[in-house]
Structure 1
Amino acid sequence: MSRRTALLVIDMQGRFKEIAENGKIIENIASLVKLFHNKDLPVVFTQHHDDPKMTSVLSRWWNNPIIKGTEEWQIIPALQKVLNVEDDIMITEKSRYDSFWETPLKSKLQELEVDTVVITGTMTNLCCETTARVAFNNDFNVIFLSDCNATSTKEYHEAALKNLAFGFATVMTHREFLKKYENV
Protein backbone atom coordinates (compact mmCIF):
# COMPACT_ATOMS: atom_id res chain seq x y z
CA MET A 1 0.00 0.00 0.00
CA SER A 2 1.64 3.19 -1.15
CA ARG A 3 1.27 6.72 0.15
CA ARG A 4 -1.00 7.20 -2.84
CA THR A 5 -3.77 4.86 -1.64
CA ALA A 6 -7.11 6.06 -0.25
CA LEU A 7 -9.88 4.16 1.52
CA LEU A 8 -13.43 4.86 0.31
CA VAL A 9 -16.19 4.05 2.81
CA ILE A 10 -19.34 4.27 0.74
CA ASP A 11 -22.77 4.94 2.24
CA MET A 12 -22.33 3.23 5.58
CA GLN A 13 -25.43 5.03 6.77
CA GLY A 14 -28.44 4.31 8.93
CA ARG A 15 -30.52 3.29 5.90
CA PHE A 16 -28.11 0.47 5.11
CA LYS A 17 -27.18 -0.58 8.66
CA GLU A 18 -29.08 -3.88 8.49
CA ILE A 19 -27.44 -4.80 5.18
CA ALA A 20 -24.02 -3.97 6.66
CA GLU A 21 -24.75 -6.01 9.78
CA ASN A 22 -26.07 -8.97 7.77
CA GLY A 23 -22.97 -8.80 5.57
CA LYS A 24 -20.75 -8.67 8.67
CA ILE A 25 -18.68 -5.83 7.18
CA ILE A 26 -18.74 -3.16 9.90
CA GLU A 27 -15.88 -4.52 11.99
CA ASN A 28 -13.69 -5.10 8.91
CA ILE A 29 -14.29 -1.55 7.68
CA ALA A 30 -13.63 -0.06 11.11
CA SER A 31 -10.29 -1.89 11.27
CA LEU A 32 -9.34 -0.55 7.84
CA VAL A 33 -10.24 3.01 8.83
CA LYS A 34 -7.95 2.66 11.87
CA LEU A 35 -5.16 1.18 9.71
CA PHE A 36 -5.38 4.02 7.19
CA HIS A 37 -5.42 6.59 9.99
CA ASN A 38 -2.34 4.96 11.58
CA LYS A 39 -0.51 5.11 8.26
CA ASP A 40 -1.67 8.70 7.67
CA LEU A 41 -3.47 7.70 4.47
CA PRO A 42 -6.66 9.36 3.23
CA VAL A 43 -10.06 8.05 4.28
CA VAL A 44 -13.18 9.17 2.45
CA PHE A 45 -16.72 8.69 3.77
CA THR A 46 -19.68 9.21 1.42
CA GLN A 47 -23.26 9.84 2.48
CA HIS A 48 -26.00 9.39 -0.07
CA HIS A 49 -29.11 11.53 0.00
CA ASP A 50 -31.99 11.99 -2.40
CA ASP A 51 -33.61 15.13 -3.66
CA PRO A 52 -36.71 15.57 -1.48
CA LYS A 53 -38.56 16.74 -4.60
CA MET A 54 -37.81 13.35 -6.19
CA THR A 55 -36.60 14.91 -9.44
CA SER A 56 -33.88 12.37 -10.27
CA VAL A 57 -34.59 9.06 -11.95
CA LEU A 58 -32.73 7.35 -9.09
CA SER A 59 -35.00 8.95 -6.48
CA ARG A 60 -38.12 8.02 -8.43
CA TRP A 61 -36.82 4.47 -9.08
CA TRP A 62 -36.66 3.68 -5.36
CA ASN A 63 -39.40 6.12 -4.28
CA ASN A 64 -38.10 6.00 -0.71
CA PRO A 65 -35.77 8.97 -0.28
CA ILE A 66 -32.91 9.29 2.15
CA ILE A 67 -33.25 12.83 3.47
CA LYS A 68 -30.05 14.67 4.36
CA GLY A 69 -29.73 15.23 8.11
CA THR A 70 -32.02 12.37 9.17
CA GLU A 71 -30.93 9.32 11.16
CA GLU A 72 -31.04 7.24 7.96
CA TRP A 73 -28.51 9.65 6.43
CA GLN A 74 -26.06 9.59 9.37
CA ILE A 75 -22.95 7.40 9.37
CA ILE A 76 -23.72 4.29 11.44
CA PRO A 77 -22.60 4.66 15.08
CA ALA A 78 -19.89 1.96 14.96
CA LEU A 79 -18.10 3.89 12.22
CA GLN A 80 -18.75 7.30 13.75
CA LYS A 81 -16.49 6.07 16.56
CA VAL A 82 -13.52 5.67 14.18
CA LEU A 83 -14.29 8.67 11.96
CA ASN A 84 -11.73 11.46 12.22
CA VAL A 85 -13.81 14.60 11.61
CA GLU A 86 -10.75 16.80 11.23
CA ASP A 87 -8.86 14.71 8.68
CA ASP A 88 -11.28 12.37 6.89
CA ILE A 89 -12.84 13.58 3.68
CA MET A 90 -16.62 13.76 3.88
CA ILE A 91 -18.60 13.60 0.63
CA THR A 92 -22.08 14.58 1.81
CA GLU A 93 -23.55 15.75 -1.47
CA LYS A 94 -23.72 12.32 -3.12
CA SER A 95 -27.05 11.89 -4.84
CA ARG A 96 -26.30 9.14 -7.36
CA TYR A 97 -24.81 5.64 -7.23
CA ASP A 98 -21.57 7.16 -8.54
CA SER A 99 -19.60 8.79 -5.71
CA PHE A 100 -17.78 10.97 -8.26
CA TRP A 101 -20.90 12.46 -9.89
CA GLU A 102 -21.12 16.17 -9.07
CA THR A 103 -19.02 15.74 -5.92
CA PRO A 104 -15.48 16.91 -5.13
CA LEU A 105 -14.21 13.32 -4.81
CA LYS A 106 -12.02 13.25 -7.93
CA SER A 107 -10.43 16.62 -7.24
CA LYS A 108 -9.76 15.70 -3.58
CA LEU A 109 -8.08 12.45 -4.62
CA GLN A 110 -6.04 14.24 -7.29
CA GLU A 111 -4.94 16.92 -4.79
CA LEU A 112 -3.61 14.13 -2.58
CA GLU A 113 -1.97 12.44 -5.60
CA VAL A 114 -3.97 9.27 -4.97
CA ASP A 115 -3.63 6.62 -7.67
CA THR A 116 -5.34 3.68 -5.90
CA VAL A 117 -8.69 3.45 -4.13
CA VAL A 118 -9.83 0.68 -1.80
CA ILE A 119 -13.61 0.37 -2.00
CA THR A 120 -15.79 -0.65 0.94
CA GLY A 121 -19.42 -0.07 1.90
CA THR A 122 -22.99 -0.58 0.77
CA MET A 123 -24.48 -1.60 -1.57
CA THR A 124 -22.04 -3.83 -3.48
CA ASN A 125 -23.96 -3.92 -6.75
CA LEU A 126 -25.16 -0.31 -6.77
CA CYS A 127 -23.08 2.50 -5.25
CA CYS A 128 -19.92 0.48 -4.61
CA GLU A 129 -19.75 -1.20 -8.01
CA THR A 130 -20.66 2.01 -9.86
CA THR A 131 -18.02 3.97 -7.96
CA ALA A 132 -15.42 1.27 -8.70
CA ARG A 133 -16.18 1.40 -12.41
CA VAL A 134 -16.05 5.19 -12.50
CA ALA A 135 -12.81 5.21 -10.50
CA PHE A 136 -11.29 2.79 -13.01
CA ASN A 137 -12.49 4.95 -15.91
CA ASN A 138 -10.85 7.94 -14.20
CA ASP A 139 -7.52 6.05 -14.16
CA PHE A 140 -7.48 5.02 -10.50
CA ASN A 141 -6.36 1.52 -9.61
CA VAL A 142 -9.23 -0.14 -7.77
CA ILE A 143 -9.08 -2.67 -4.95
CA PHE A 144 -12.51 -4.00 -4.05
CA LEU A 145 -12.78 -5.91 -0.80
CA SER A 146 -15.32 -8.72 -1.03
CA ASP A 147 -15.95 -8.94 2.72
CA CYS A 148 -16.04 -5.16 3.23
CA ASN A 149 -18.95 -4.64 0.84
CA ALA A 150 -22.52 -5.85 1.28
CA THR A 151 -25.84 -5.77 -0.49
CA SER A 152 -29.35 -7.19 -0.25
CA THR A 153 -28.67 -10.69 -1.63
CA LYS A 154 -25.73 -13.06 -2.00
CA GLU A 155 -26.47 -13.38 -5.73
CA TYR A 156 -26.23 -9.61 -6.35
CA HIS A 157 -23.03 -9.44 -4.30
CA GLU A 158 -21.34 -12.32 -6.14
CA ALA A 159 -22.42 -11.07 -9.57
CA ALA A 160 -20.93 -7.63 -8.86
CA LEU A 161 -17.67 -9.18 -7.66
CA LYS A 162 -17.40 -11.29 -10.83
CA ASN A 163 -18.05 -8.30 -13.09
CA LEU A 164 -15.57 -6.09 -11.25
CA ALA A 165 -12.84 -8.77 -11.20
CA PHE A 166 -13.22 -9.29 -14.94
CA GLY A 167 -12.46 -5.75 -15.99
CA PHE A 168 -12.38 -3.08 -13.31
CA ALA A 169 -10.85 -4.05 -9.96
CA THR A 170 -8.58 -6.34 -8.03
CA VAL A 171 -11.01 -8.22 -5.80
CA MET A 172 -9.72 -9.65 -2.55
CA THR A 173 -10.77 -10.24 1.03
CA HIS A 174 -10.02 -7.99 3.99
CA ARG A 175 -7.51 -10.55 5.29
CA GLU A 176 -5.76 -10.85 1.91
CA PHE A 177 -5.52 -7.06 1.74
CA LEU A 178 -4.02 -6.84 5.24
CA LYS A 179 -1.54 -9.63 4.54
CA LYS A 180 -0.39 -7.93 1.36
CA TYR A 181 -0.37 -4.28 2.49
CA GLU A 182 -0.40 -3.92 6.29
CA ASN A 183 3.39 -3.80 6.68
CA VAL A 184 4.09 -1.72 3.59
Structure 2
Amino acid sequence: MAIPKLQSYLLPTQAELPVNKVKWDFNPARAALLIHDMQEYFLNFWGENSPLIDQVVENVARLRQFCKSQDIPVFYTAQPNQQSDQDRALLNDMWGPGLNKHPDQQRVVSALAPDEQDQVLVKWRYSAFHRSPLESILKETGRDQLIICGVYAHIGCLTTATDAFMRDIKPFMVADALADFSREEHMMALNYTAGRSGKVVMTSELLPATTPASKAQLRALVLPLLDDDAEDLDDADNLVDYGLDSVRMMELAARWRQIHSDIDFISLAKDPSIDGWWKLLSREPA
Protein backbone atom coordinates (compact mmCIF):
# COMPACT_ATOMS: atom_id res chain seq x y z
CA MET A 1 0.00 0.00 0.00
CA ALA A 2 2.81 2.47 0.85
CA ILE A 3 5.35 3.75 -1.67
CA PRO A 4 7.96 1.01 -2.26
CA LYS A 5 11.71 1.36 -1.87
CA LEU A 6 12.95 2.88 -5.13
CA GLN A 7 16.07 2.34 -7.25
CA SER A 8 18.05 4.80 -9.36
CA TYR A 9 17.94 4.53 -13.14
CA LEU A 10 19.32 6.47 -16.09
CA LEU A 11 17.37 9.59 -16.92
CA PRO A 12 15.97 9.81 -20.46
CA THR A 13 18.26 11.30 -23.08
CA GLN A 14 17.27 13.73 -25.81
CA ALA A 15 17.35 10.90 -28.35
CA GLU A 16 14.85 8.88 -26.30
CA LEU A 17 12.20 11.56 -25.94
CA PRO A 18 8.85 10.89 -27.57
CA VAL A 19 7.80 12.96 -30.57
CA ASN A 20 5.72 15.90 -29.41
CA LYS A 21 2.35 16.32 -31.08
CA VAL A 22 2.42 20.09 -30.45
CA LYS A 23 5.05 22.61 -31.53
CA TRP A 24 4.67 25.16 -28.73
CA ASP A 25 7.47 27.69 -28.36
CA PHE A 26 8.62 28.33 -24.82
CA ASN A 27 8.01 31.97 -23.83
CA PRO A 28 9.54 33.07 -20.51
CA ALA A 29 7.20 36.06 -20.33
CA ARG A 30 4.20 33.70 -20.26
CA ALA A 31 5.66 30.89 -18.15
CA ALA A 32 5.69 29.75 -14.52
CA LEU A 33 7.74 27.00 -12.88
CA LEU A 34 6.16 24.28 -10.74
CA ILE A 35 8.50 22.31 -8.46
CA HIS A 36 6.33 19.34 -7.62
CA ASP A 37 6.49 17.48 -4.26
CA MET A 38 10.28 17.68 -3.80
CA GLN A 39 9.87 16.96 -0.11
CA GLU A 40 12.24 14.87 1.99
CA TYR A 41 9.54 12.25 2.53
CA PHE A 42 9.10 11.49 -1.17
CA LEU A 43 12.82 11.55 -2.00
CA ASN A 44 13.83 9.37 0.92
CA PHE A 45 12.39 6.31 -0.83
CA TRP A 46 15.55 6.30 -2.98
CA GLY A 47 17.78 6.29 0.10
CA GLU A 48 20.91 8.37 0.53
CA ASN A 49 23.29 9.33 -2.28
CA SER A 50 20.97 8.41 -5.14
CA PRO A 51 22.62 9.37 -8.48
CA LEU A 52 19.16 9.80 -9.98
CA ILE A 53 17.95 12.22 -7.33
CA ASP A 54 21.25 14.11 -7.26
CA GLN A 55 20.93 14.79 -11.00
CA VAL A 56 17.23 15.67 -10.83
CA VAL A 57 17.78 18.08 -7.92
CA GLU A 58 20.65 19.70 -9.84
CA ASN A 59 18.50 20.15 -12.94
CA VAL A 60 15.57 21.53 -10.95
CA ALA A 61 17.95 23.96 -9.21
CA ARG A 62 19.22 25.14 -12.61
CA LEU A 63 15.65 25.70 -13.80
CA ARG A 64 14.80 27.60 -10.63
CA GLN A 65 17.86 29.82 -10.93
CA PHE A 66 17.04 30.59 -14.56
CA CYS A 67 13.41 31.37 -13.77
CA LYS A 68 14.38 33.76 -11.02
CA SER A 69 16.78 35.55 -13.36
CA GLN A 70 13.92 35.98 -15.85
CA ASP A 71 11.24 37.00 -13.31
CA ILE A 72 9.38 33.77 -13.98
CA PRO A 73 7.25 32.96 -10.91
CA VAL A 74 8.17 29.81 -9.00
CA PHE A 75 5.54 27.61 -7.34
CA TYR A 76 6.00 24.57 -5.12
CA THR A 77 3.61 21.84 -4.08
CA ALA A 78 4.03 20.32 -0.63
CA GLN A 79 1.75 17.95 1.23
CA PRO A 80 1.03 18.97 4.84
CA ASN A 81 2.32 16.71 7.58
CA GLN A 82 -0.99 16.67 9.45
CA GLN A 83 -3.90 15.53 7.30
CA SER A 84 -7.29 14.54 8.62
CA ASP A 85 -9.01 11.42 7.33
CA GLN A 86 -11.50 13.70 5.59
CA ASP A 87 -8.72 15.62 3.83
CA ARG A 88 -6.78 12.49 2.94
CA ALA A 89 -9.83 10.39 2.03
CA LEU A 90 -9.04 7.84 -0.71
CA LEU A 91 -5.31 8.52 -0.48
CA ASN A 92 -5.40 6.47 2.71
CA ASP A 93 -6.73 3.47 0.76
CA MET A 94 -4.13 3.82 -1.96
CA TRP A 95 -0.99 4.92 -0.07
CA GLY A 96 -1.62 4.65 3.66
CA PRO A 97 -1.06 7.53 6.11
CA GLY A 98 1.90 9.02 4.19
CA LEU A 99 3.40 12.10 5.78
CA ASN A 100 1.17 11.76 8.84
CA LYS A 101 3.59 9.06 10.03
CA HIS A 102 6.70 11.10 9.11
CA PRO A 103 5.93 14.75 9.99
CA ASP A 104 9.64 15.57 10.29
CA GLN A 105 10.12 14.84 6.57
CA GLN A 106 7.66 17.46 5.32
CA ARG A 107 10.29 20.02 4.26
CA VAL A 108 11.33 20.60 0.66
CA VAL A 109 14.92 19.35 0.30
CA SER A 110 17.43 22.00 1.35
CA ALA A 111 19.01 22.39 -2.11
CA LEU A 112 15.62 23.58 -3.42
CA ALA A 113 14.25 25.35 -0.36
CA PRO A 114 11.72 28.02 -1.36
CA ASP A 115 12.39 31.67 -0.48
CA GLU A 116 10.02 34.52 0.34
CA GLN A 117 9.33 35.25 -3.36
CA ASP A 118 8.18 31.68 -4.06
CA GLN A 119 4.67 30.42 -3.46
CA VAL A 120 4.13 27.07 -1.74
CA LEU A 121 0.81 25.44 -2.57
CA VAL A 122 -0.76 23.00 -0.15
CA LYS A 123 -1.02 19.68 -1.99
CA TRP A 124 -4.21 17.69 -1.35
CA ARG A 125 -4.47 15.40 -4.38
CA TYR A 126 -2.40 14.35 -7.40
CA SER A 127 -3.11 17.57 -9.30
CA ALA A 128 -1.48 20.79 -8.11
CA PHE A 129 -4.67 22.61 -9.19
CA HIS A 130 -6.94 20.77 -6.72
CA ARG A 131 -8.04 23.08 -3.88
CA SER A 132 -5.30 25.58 -4.76
CA PRO A 133 -5.19 29.10 -6.25
CA LEU A 134 -2.70 28.06 -8.95
CA GLU A 135 -5.04 28.53 -11.92
CA SER A 136 -6.33 31.92 -10.78
CA ILE A 137 -2.82 33.23 -10.09
CA LEU A 138 -1.56 32.11 -13.49
CA LYS A 139 -4.48 33.68 -15.33
CA GLU A 140 -4.37 36.91 -13.34
CA THR A 141 -0.66 37.32 -14.18
CA GLY A 142 -0.97 36.37 -17.86
CA ARG A 143 0.90 33.09 -17.50
CA ASP A 144 -0.37 30.28 -19.72
CA GLN A 145 2.69 28.02 -19.77
CA LEU A 146 3.66 25.76 -16.86
CA ILE A 147 7.09 24.14 -16.54
CA ILE A 148 6.66 20.95 -14.52
CA CYS A 149 9.48 19.16 -12.69
CA GLY A 150 9.78 17.01 -9.57
CA VAL A 151 8.23 13.72 -8.40
CA TYR A 152 6.56 11.45 -9.23
CA ALA A 153 6.42 11.73 -13.02
CA HIS A 154 3.57 9.27 -13.67
CA ILE A 155 1.40 10.34 -10.72
CA GLY A 156 1.20 13.97 -9.61
CA CYS A 157 3.31 15.46 -12.39
CA LEU A 158 1.36 13.76 -15.16
CA THR A 159 -2.00 14.49 -13.55
CA THR A 160 -1.04 18.15 -13.10
CA ALA A 161 0.08 18.38 -16.74
CA THR A 162 -3.22 16.92 -17.94
CA ASP A 163 -5.19 19.17 -15.61
CA ALA A 164 -3.26 22.21 -16.89
CA PHE A 165 -4.11 21.25 -20.48
CA MET A 166 -7.80 21.00 -19.54
CA ARG A 167 -7.57 24.58 -18.22
CA ASP A 168 -5.90 25.94 -21.40
CA ILE A 169 -2.50 26.17 -19.71
CA LYS A 170 0.33 24.68 -21.76
CA PRO A 171 2.39 22.18 -19.72
CA PHE A 172 6.09 21.64 -20.43
CA MET A 173 7.24 18.38 -18.79
CA VAL A 174 11.01 18.49 -18.23
CA ALA A 175 12.14 14.92 -18.86
CA ASP A 176 15.47 15.08 -17.02
CA ALA A 177 14.10 17.11 -14.09
CA LEU A 178 11.57 14.42 -13.14
CA ALA A 179 11.94 11.19 -11.18
CA ASP A 180 9.64 8.20 -10.88
CA PHE A 181 9.13 4.74 -9.43
CA SER A 182 10.88 3.23 -12.45
CA ARG A 183 12.26 4.19 -15.84
CA GLU A 184 9.30 2.46 -17.51
CA GLU A 185 6.77 4.57 -15.60
CA HIS A 186 8.87 7.70 -16.23
CA MET A 187 8.79 7.05 -19.98
CA MET A 188 5.08 6.25 -19.86
CA ALA A 189 4.43 9.69 -18.36
CA LEU A 190 6.49 11.36 -21.07
CA ASN A 191 4.80 9.41 -23.86
CA TYR A 192 1.33 10.28 -22.59
CA THR A 193 2.17 13.96 -22.19
CA ALA A 194 3.77 14.26 -25.64
CA GLY A 195 0.79 12.63 -27.32
CA ARG A 196 -2.14 13.89 -25.27
CA SER A 197 -1.60 16.90 -23.05
CA GLY A 198 1.65 18.82 -23.36
CA LYS A 199 5.20 19.16 -24.60
CA VAL A 200 8.17 17.12 -23.36
CA VAL A 201 11.50 18.94 -23.19
CA MET A 202 14.97 18.65 -21.68
CA THR A 203 16.37 21.09 -19.13
CA SER A 204 18.90 22.34 -21.67
CA GLU A 205 16.11 23.30 -24.11
CA LEU A 206 14.70 25.82 -21.66
CA LEU A 207 18.00 27.30 -20.49
CA PRO A 208 20.25 29.64 -22.47
CA ALA A 209 23.21 27.85 -24.06
CA THR A 210 26.31 27.91 -21.84
CA THR A 211 29.59 26.07 -21.44
CA PRO A 212 31.25 25.20 -18.11
CA ALA A 213 33.15 28.15 -16.65
CA SER A 214 35.95 25.99 -15.23
CA LYS A 215 37.40 22.53 -15.45
CA ALA A 216 35.80 21.77 -12.07
CA GLN A 217 32.36 22.67 -13.48
CA LEU A 218 33.00 20.46 -16.49
CA ARG A 219 33.93 17.58 -14.20
CA ALA A 220 30.78 18.12 -12.12
CA LEU A 221 28.69 18.08 -15.31
CA VAL A 222 30.25 14.89 -16.66
CA LEU A 223 30.51 12.72 -13.52
CA PRO A 224 26.75 12.00 -13.23
CA LEU A 225 26.87 10.57 -16.78
CA LEU A 226 29.50 7.96 -15.82
CA ASP A 227 29.62 4.69 -13.89
CA ASP A 228 29.44 4.74 -10.10
CA ASP A 229 33.20 4.11 -9.75
CA ALA A 230 34.17 7.31 -11.60
CA GLU A 231 34.77 9.46 -8.52
CA ASP A 232 38.53 8.80 -8.70
CA LEU A 233 38.61 9.70 -12.40
CA ASP A 234 41.77 11.53 -13.48
CA ASP A 235 41.27 14.52 -15.79
CA ALA A 236 43.31 12.76 -18.48
CA ASP A 237 41.37 9.46 -18.29
CA ASN A 238 39.22 8.26 -21.17
CA LEU A 239 35.59 8.94 -20.22
CA VAL A 240 34.36 6.10 -22.43
CA ASP A 241 36.25 3.66 -20.21
CA TYR A 242 34.18 4.95 -17.29
CA GLY A 243 30.82 4.39 -18.97
CA LEU A 244 30.19 7.48 -21.11
CA ASP A 245 28.05 6.38 -24.06
CA SER A 246 27.74 7.87 -27.52
CA VAL A 247 24.20 9.17 -26.95
CA ARG A 248 25.29 11.32 -24.00
CA MET A 249 28.29 12.54 -25.99
CA MET A 250 26.07 13.59 -28.88
CA GLU A 251 23.80 15.49 -26.49
CA LEU A 252 26.78 17.37 -25.04
CA ALA A 253 28.05 18.14 -28.54
CA ALA A 254 24.65 19.55 -29.55
CA ARG A 255 24.57 21.74 -26.43
CA TRP A 256 28.10 23.09 -26.80
CA ARG A 257 27.83 23.59 -30.56
CA GLN A 258 25.53 26.54 -29.81
CA ILE A 259 28.62 28.28 -28.39
CA HIS A 260 31.42 26.71 -30.46
CA SER A 261 30.16 25.93 -33.95
CA ASP A 262 33.04 23.53 -34.68
CA ILE A 263 32.22 21.15 -31.81
CA ASP A 264 30.56 17.92 -32.88
CA PHE A 265 30.55 14.27 -31.86
CA ILE A 266 33.80 13.58 -33.73
CA SER A 267 35.69 16.43 -32.06
CA LEU A 268 34.61 15.22 -28.61
CA ALA A 269 35.42 11.59 -29.44
CA LYS A 270 39.01 12.43 -30.51
CA ASP A 271 40.03 13.04 -26.90
CA PRO A 272 37.14 12.03 -24.61
CA SER A 273 38.66 13.28 -21.37
CA ILE A 274 38.16 16.22 -19.03
CA ASP A 275 41.48 17.67 -20.23
CA GLY A 276 40.64 17.17 -23.91
CA TRP A 277 37.20 18.70 -23.65
CA TRP A 278 38.38 21.62 -21.56
CA LYS A 279 40.81 22.57 -24.35
CA LEU A 280 37.84 22.81 -26.70
CA LEU A 281 35.51 24.61 -24.31
CA SER A 282 37.92 27.10 -22.78
CA ARG A 283 38.50 28.86 -26.11
CA GLU A 284 36.85 32.17 -26.88
CA PRO A 285 33.66 31.57 -28.91
CA ALA A 286 34.07 32.29 -32.60
Tell me the TM-score normalised to structure 2 length. Answer: 0.58
Deviation of the 1:179 alpha carbon: 4.8
Deviation of the 1:169 alpha carbon: 1.0
Question: Structure 1 residue 154 and structure 2 residue 180: aligned?
Answer: no
Alignment partner, residue 125 of structure 1? 154
Residue 59 of structure 2, aligned match among 28, 41, 44: 28
Query: 2-side partners of 1:60 and 1:121: how far apart?
Result: 24
Deviations 1:110-156 (A, max 9, x none): 12111100000100000100000000100001111000111111111
Determine which structure has the larger strand proportion and give its number.
Answer: 1
CA 1:19–1:32: 2 relative to 1, 3 Å? farther
Alignment partner, residue 34 of structure 2? 8
Question: Is contact 2:34–2:148 with CA below 8 Å preserved after alignment?
Answer: yes
Determine which structure has the larger helix proportion and give its number.
Answer: 2
Gaps of 5+ in 1: none
Amino acid at match of 1:59: N
Segment of structure 1 superposing worse, 58-67 or 29-38: 58-67
Cα RMSD for the two superposed structures: 2.1
SS in 2 for 1:71: helix
Query: 1-side partners of 2:29 and 2:180: how far apart?
Result: 30
CA 1:97–1:152: 2 relative to 1, 3 Å? same
| Higher alpha-carbon Rg | 2
Deviation of the 1:161 alpha carbon: 0.6
Deviation of the 1:68 alpha carbon: 10
Alignment partner, residue 40 of structure 1? 71
The share of aligned pairs that are identical, in percent, is: 29
Question: Structure 1 residue 178 and structure 2 residue 207: aligned?
Answer: yes
CA 1:52–1:72: 2 relative to 1, 3 Å? farther
Deviation of the 1:17 alpha carbon: 1.9
What is the aligned length? 176
Tell me the TM-score normalised to structure 1 length. Answer: 0.87
Deviations 1:46-88 (A, max 9, x none): 10247343651123210132139923221111111xx222x11
Runs of 4+ in structure 1 over 6 Å off? none
Question: Structure 1 residue 112 and structure 2 residue 141: aligned?
Answer: yes
SS in 1 for 2:108: coil
Relative contact order, CA 8 A, sep 6+: which one is greater? 1
Alignment partner, residue 142 of structure 1? 171
Gaps of 5+ in 2: 1-26, 210-286
Amino acid at match of 1:89: Q
